[in-house]
Amino acid sequence: MFGFWNDVAGKPTSGKIAFAPPLRAPNSNNFESNIWLWSLAMNAASQKKGAAWLFIQWATSKQVELTGAISGKLVNSPRASTWTDKAWLEYAAKPEFNNFVDTFKAVRKRAALAFTHRVGFAEAMNA
C-alpha cells in the first residue's frame, strides 16, 4: 500500500520503500503478517438499511474496486478479481511499488488483521 506514497517529490521516504515477506523466527517454516485494509459496515440501528446496502454493494463492486486500485485511490483491494486483473497488475508493476504484488501473494495466506496500537502510529501515518 505504501507504493502509493513512494513516488512523491520532496518527501523524505520517496523511493525508499520496498516490500518483502516478513522474516521467520529461528527454526520456523512460517511467519505471521499483519495486513492493512479498509472496510465498510452498516450500523444495525440504521434508519436507511436499504440505501446503505445499495451503497455498500456499489462501493465494493468489482468495477469500483478495480477503478480505485488502478487510480491509486484504493489500498489493498479485498477482491480476488482485482489481484488477477491485467490493468491492476500493470499499474502495480510501476517502480514505486517495489515488489508489492509478489510480496502480497507470498503473505496473503498467512496474513491477518492484527492491529496493535503502537506509540507514534498516528504521527507516522499522518506524515
pLDDT in tens, 58-116: 999 999 999 998 887 887 788 899 999 999 999 888 887 888 888 888 888 887 777 66
The pTM for the full model equals 0.68
Mean pLDDT over the full length of the chain: 83
> H or E stretch including 65?
helix 62-70
CA 37 – CA 114 distance, rounded (Å)? 11
Residues 33, 6, 16, 18, CA torsion sign: positive
Domains of the chain by residue range? 46-127
